Structure 1
Amino acid sequence: MPHLTIVANIKANADKVDLVKSELLKLIDPTVAEPGCVQYDLHQDNDDPAHFLFYENWESRELWQMHSNSNHVKALAAATEDAIEELSIYEMTKVH
């Protein structure tokens, strides 16, 4: 069965880039230790530092949903409540 690929685009408010980046970085260690996490990479746009992207691969949708409901994801949401301008999450499957 192919992995579930998640692409999460996060756009920080211009005056909150450093805060958002530091909070996103806090997700990495606990997330890679979670069951089902195959890949969890954070990227920052070279031309627009307020744009972040997570590229993730999970063994199943159920395990990704457990991650989405984890305490560290909830802590991120609370810490960045007024700091994120836009968030879009795409669930994808590799076709080749």
Structure 2
Amino acid sequence: MSQALTIVARIEAKSDKINLVKTALMKLIEPTRKETGCLQYDLHQDNENPAVFLFFESWETLELWQSHMNNDHLKAYMEETEGAVDRFILNEMTKIG
């Protein structure tokens, strides 16, 4: 059996768009957790910098995660937050220990 794929996505909202981005990110949780292959999908907000959000995700396979990336709810998020995000960093990772 292959290793699950871990995704760490860091989203930094513009300072005047924190609530907009947070609301849009929260909308992703329920439908994503229902997707085939989603093992974990947790959203975090930085305690010292509320503009910083982090998704910690675990997926059965790369292909199922890629399918998630093309879902309608993710496309809606992108439209809703266009121009509201300063920085987005995504890491595809494998658990090694």
Q: Same fold (TM over 0.5)?
A: yes
Q: Give CA-to-partner distance per residue, 1:57-78, whole Å, 9 cap, x none.
A: 0000000000001000000000
Q: Is 2:29 the partner of 1:38?
A: no
Consecutive unaligned residues of structure 1, counting only runs of 5 or more, are none
Distance 1:69 1:46 in 2: 30
Letter in 2 for 1:67: H
Q: Secondary structure at the match of 1:40?
A: strand
Distance 1:11 1:91 in 2: 18
Identity of aligned residues (%): 55
2:58 corresponding residue in structure 1: 57
Structure 1 residues 19-30: aligned runs within 5 Å: 19-30=20-31
1:85 corresponding residue in structure 2: 86
Consecutive unaligned residues of structure 2, counting only runs of 5 or more, are none
Distance 1:89 1:77 in 2: 15
Q: Give CA-to-partner distance per residue, 1:18-69, whole Å, 9 cap, x none.
A: 0000000000000000000000000000000000000000000000000001
Which TM-score applies when normalising by structure 2? 0.98
Distance 1:46 1:81 in 2: 24
Aligned length: 96
Distance 1:30 1:79 in 2: 16
Which TM-score applies when normalising by structure 1? 0.99
Distance 1:72 1:66 in 2: 12
Quote the RMSD (CA, aligned, Å). Answer: 0.3
The alpha carbon displacement at 1:2 in A equals 1.1
